[in-house]
Structures are given as structure tokens and as C-alpha cells.
Amino acid sequence: MVVLTARDEKRGLEALESLKYSGLSDYLIFHQFDVADPESIAALTDFVKKQFRKLDFL
């Protein structure tokens, strides 16, 4: 599973739609994320914990 993130939700969702045509749509999820915002960091952390229980970085 790949979690695509972006600060701008609209642009992130547009990117997700574009990537769906690559044949990887079953493996893509979008989550709004701003690395400079502590609340956004906490929200993404909670999302990953609930959805996946672990995180591998690439």
C-alpha cells in the first residue's frame, strides 16, 4: 500500500486520480499532510496506526 500525501488536498486528490490510471489504484490511498504542522503529523500518525499498524519507509 502506498499513502500519497500533500498539503493541498485538492491537488493531492487530483494526483491520486492521475495515478489510478497507471493500474495501481488498488494500492494507493491519499491523506492530507503538512510536515510543518504538528496537528497534521499527529493525524497522519493516527491514520497509519489505525489502517496499517506499522509503517515501512521507502
Predicted pLDDT at 57: 72
DSSP H/E element including 31: strand 28-32
Q: Look up cell 504542522; give the residue.
A: 37
Predicted pLDDT at 21: 82
Task: Quote the pTM value.
Answer: 0.78
Q: Give Cα 32 distance to the centre of its chain.
A: 6
pLDDT tens profile 1-58: 889 999 999 999 999 988 888 777 778 999 999 999 999 999 999 999 899 887 777 6
Q: Is 5 exposed, middle or buried (0-12, 13-18, 19+ CB in 10 A)?
A: middle
